[in-house]
Amino acid sequence: MPMLTRLRSSRDNVHIALMLALTFSTGIVDAIGYLGLDKVFAGNMTGNVVILGMAVAGADDLPWFGPLLALFAFMLGAVIGGRILRPVKSGWSNRSTWTFFAVGVVILGLGIALFLTHGAPPDPWEYVITVLLAGSMGLQAATARHIAVKDVTTVVVTSTITGFAADSRLAGGKGQPWFRRGAAIVLIAAGAGVGALLLQLHIGAGLLAAGGVTVVAALVGHLIAHDRYKPAPADAPTAAGTSA
């Protein structure tokens, strides 16, 4: 179809759009984790490390077990992602599709399970959900890293904000990819806002939304951004005819 052909010809832009969509979904997941699962970030490990440090120092009302679980689960998810993707070259491959799809299915499954339990989970199950969410975010982060869209990691925007400021004209810079950087910052904040609003409806609602975004991104990426659709060089011979 002409539309798919045009999109496939600009795969880099499609990669950026999909990573930004996943950044938005991460904002939703982090809002659900922090507000609904006792101050735990599923994707933002910097936040967990800071909370953990303050909790160990004796700060009041700050958990330590949940952030510690999330940290190790995230690392385990990233290890699994690295193992899966190590044999293939950077870019979108079948393995990228399946890892993103697995992340979406896990988040969707958790959302459905929370709806079936009619409310916030009790403590033991809260930790299980934390581990599964953080592990999924680690797998997503490793896959996004392998696709290697500059400035869009899908799980954190601190480095993006640094680049946005340090490369600005105010800092003496001459130009930067401002759209992707600005969009990543705005979208993770927008996702967090949507997650907070959906939490008022039900703790599972935000996970259903985030999981849906992730599954759609995986399918769109497979259909449009996959490396097998990389355009041939302009001077390459075609099947219809070659030079004599």
Predicted confidence at residue 199, as pLDDT, reads 94
Is 201 exposed, middle or buried (CB count within 10 Å of its CB: 0-12, 13-18, 19+)?
exposed
How far from chain centre, in Å, is Cα 109? 17
Other CB atoms within a 10 A radius of the CB of residue 135 amount to: 25
Transcribe 100-168 into DSSP letters.
HHHHHHHHHHHHHHHHHTTSPPPHHHHHHHHHHHHHHHHHHHHHHHHHT-TT--SS--HHHHHHHHHTS
**What residues are paired with 89 via a beta bridge?**
none
What averages of pLDDT result for each successive group of 10 residues across the chain (244 residues)?
Answer: 52 89 97 91 93 89 91 97 94 94 97 84 85 97 92 88 87 82 94 96 95 96 75 41 34
Look up the CATH number of domain 2-229.
Answer: 1.20.1250
CA distance 122 to 126: 6
